[in-house]
Amino acid sequence: MILVTGATGSIGRYLVRRLQQEQAPFKALVRDETKGRTLGCDFVVGDLDDADSIAAALKGVDRLFLNAAGAQPVSGEQPMIRQQKTAIDAARAAGVSEIVKISVWHAHEGGRLAEGAHWQIEQHLKASTPNWSLLQPSGFMQNFITGAGAFTDDGKLVGAYGDSAVSYIDCHDIAACAAVLLTGSPGTGESYVLTGPEALTQAQIAEKLSAATGRTVDYVNLSPDQLAAALKAQGLPPQFADDVAVLSEEVATGSLATTTSAVLDLTGRAPRTFDEFLADNREALRSGPVSSDG
């Protein structure tokens, strides 16, 4: 039995569908019962901040998909670190034999925001069980639907990446990789960097978004200081805004431009291109942040 956390998120909802198609035994962990009902699968209500609810959810479970959305730091700490460590400890106590965790590419000690938070969780996971797998994806294509792709109120795409490219990946492919690991032989401690098949600049992304939505999407390149100032003006905490700006500087050096064969190696098929993603999500894009001026 598999327990899927983050089941209503960008990766989790695709994983739920995949496991249903494969008729794999699983249940989803949700915080909101109403959202759980929309999944069309068995689910349990729980919260990663409530250890007792996680222990209850893990009854009868032998494999755990660990994924929880990051959040802005509270008093300098990432809530995700505490939450995922709680889930790992509960899984170990429940005798769960394998954990597949969504991490982030370039997770490292002392890293800003998600990079540092995921590194801490990774170390805790590795010390807790020998049967683990880490999926470390590049940027999500879905960010251009949810708004995390950094759009202005009038639909312009903004960033501080310059001419550097990013090998964005469709969350559908991340879920497909997770499904393979969760339904196959137990992991023995491997990490997989997941990317799309190509690396695109933000200007190229804007051009493709324009073609897909039928309206002009411009890319506005900012300096890191300008990006930080813009985020602060939106009401984000100063330290969070500064950290995002620093991470953007790293991306501008090409840190997310490499492509890997991990999706093909795990699933047997090539990852989706950005054009395929756009074709599958055209209506959502037309009604989402990229079309906010319509």
**Per-residue pLDDT for the chain (294 aa), expressed as one digit of tens each?**
999 999 999 899 999 999 999 999 999 999 999 999 999 999 999 999 999 999 999 999 999 999 976 555 555 577 899 999 999 999 999 999 999 999 999 998 988 888 889 999 999 999 998 899 999 999 999 988 876 556 666 678 888 888 999 999 999 999 999 999 999 877 789 999 999 999 999 999 999 999 988 888 899 898 888 888 887 887 777 887 888 888 888 888 889 999 999 999 999 999 999 999 999 998 888 766 554 332
> What region, left, alpha or beta, does residue 259 occupy, with left being phi > 0 and alpha being psi -120 to 50 degrees?
beta
239 domain residue, yes or no: no
241 domain residue, yes or no: no
Q: b/e per residue, 148-166, with b = 16+ CB within 10 A?
A: ebbbeeebbbbbbbbebbb
* DSSP code of residue 6: S
Q: What is the pLDDT of residue 289?
A: 56
> What region, left, alpha or beta, does residue 71 occupy, with left being phi > 0 and alpha being psi -120 to 50 degrees?
beta
Contact (Cβ atoms closer than 8 angstroms) between residue 129 and residue 90: no
* DSSP code of residue 187: P
In 3D, which of 220, 236, 119, 136 has the Cα closest to residue 178? Answer: 136
Q: What is the pLDDT of residue 145?
A: 85
Local structure of 188: helix, strand or coil: coil
CATH code (residue 40) = 3.40.50.720
Q: What is the pLDDT of residue 294?
A: 29
- Give the range of the structural domain holding residue 64, as residue numbers without chain letter: 2-129
Q: What is the pTM of this model?
A: 0.91
Amino acid at 231: L
150 domain residue, yes or no: no
52 domain residue, yes or no: yes
HSE-up of residue 222 (Cα within 13 Å, Cβ side): 19
Q: What is the pLDDT of residue 240?
A: 78
53 domain residue, yes or no: yes
If one counts the domains in the chain, the total is: 1
- Residue 16 backbone phi and psi in degrees, to 5: -55, -45
Q: What is the pLDDT of residue 76?
A: 58
229 domain residue, yes or no: no
Q: Give CB contacts under 8 A, 24+ apart, made by 237-246.
A: 237/72, 237/73, 239/73, 239/76, 240/72, 240/73, 240/113, 243/112, 243/113, 244/113, 245/160, 246/112
232 domain residue, yes or no: no
Q: b/e per residue, 196-223, with b = 16+ CB within 10 A?
A: bbbbbbbbbbbbbbeebbeeebebebbe
CA torsion sign, 225 to 231 to 234 to 237? Answer: negative
